[in-house]
Amino acid sequence: MMASHYSAKQEDGHITVSGPDGATLKSKKPENTAFKQQRLPAWQPILTAGTVLPTFFVIGLIFIPIGIGLYVTSNNIKEFESNVFMYYGLSNFYQNHRRYVKSRDDSQLNGDITSLTKPSKECEPYAQSENKPIAPCGAIANSMFNDTLELFYIDPNGTRIQILLTKRGIAWWTDKHVKFRNPGDNNPNLTAVFQGTIKPVNWQRPVYELDTDSENSGFINEDFIVWMRTAALPTFRKLYGVIQKKSNLTPTLPRGNYTLEVAYNYPVRSFDGRKRMILSTISWMGGKNPFLGIAYITVGSICFFLGVVLLIINHKYGSCNNTADISN
């Protein structure tokens, strides 16, 4: 009877085992290196008054002026300068709900013919109606804002002059030219392209009749594209149109009386919501939104206040601790 013979040899942290057949096996022990054996040098910051207090004061001194600048810039935005942007706003409308956000078919919106006739299951229960595929499908498209807003200027003689709104250029360029496309390889006859589909349940007309201009109808309609970019908060605003600046000598919206006429199509009572219209210009930081400036001022003020409090505590008790250490 022959006994098996094994020899073990350690090389660089590996144990080499040789069997009777001459095969060499290595153990799973990590290599004997500084990294794998966790012998790398480490550094741990020690928080002291000399390092913490300057940090608080520096953050406060930086954030407070930035916040004041942002807040003042936001408040200086007026409705009679440059182009004027008209927004519609909704409150208590949760576009950030997980199932709502997923209820769309991006392939269909990108012009895929297969998805046009067979919408994604993510669109349920707004994928089919009357045994026909819905275009565009999904809960987001089905709930599209469809009120009509018209603004009129009342001149001193009492005549109503309609303020013209530009509906082109209100969507992101990448959305208009990359993410959203009409099926049919830019076929101008959208009625034929969308034949065999049906409009969303809550829509008043099909998608190919959203605009008389074929370059702003169908899936590339900019009102539709703006709505499909979901909001993160339950109270939000979306761009409705742009009032173009006439000249440098006359204000875009002259001082006086205005009338807003609303074709009420979009119900909000079912979700206890509210609708509103906003007129605003934009600055280098965008539209009127004081939140960012207030946030900077708040954070800077808190840091500065904490710095003062910690400085007082260190001045009052820090010397006592040092004296006690010396006496011991």
147, part of any domain: yes
Range of the domain at 190: 94-230+250-273
312, part of any domain: no
12, part of any domain: no
CA pair distance 301, 39, nearest whole angstrom: 43
Provide the residue-wise pLDDT of the chain in tens; the chain has 328 residues: 444 444 444 444 455 555 556 666 667 788 888 888 888 888 887 888 888 888 888 998 899 999 898 888 877 765 447 788 999 999 999 999 999 999 999 999 999 999 999 999 999 999 999 999 999 999 999 999 999 999 999 998 989 999 999 999 999 999 999 999 999 877 778 999 999 999 999 999 999 999 988 889 999 999 999 999 999 999 999 999 999 888 776 788 888 999 999 999 999 999 999 999 999 887 665 666 678 888 889 999 999 999 999 888 888 877 655 544 444 4
In 71-147 the beta strands, taken as DSSP E runs, fall at: 84-91, 128-129, 132-133
Report which residue type is found at 283: S
170, part of any domain: yes
Q: Are 143 and 201 in contact (CB under 8 A)?
A: no
223, part of any domain: yes
Global pTM value: 0.66
18, part of any domain: no
Phi, psi of 252 (to 5 degrees): -65, -45
83-to-136, 182, 211, 259 alpha-carbon distances in Å: 32, 30, 23, 19
Number of domains in the chain: 1
137, part of any domain: yes
10: part of which helix (H) or strand (E)?
strand 7-11
CA pair distance 205, 118, nearest whole angstrom: 21
187, part of any domain: yes
Report which residue type is found at 76: N
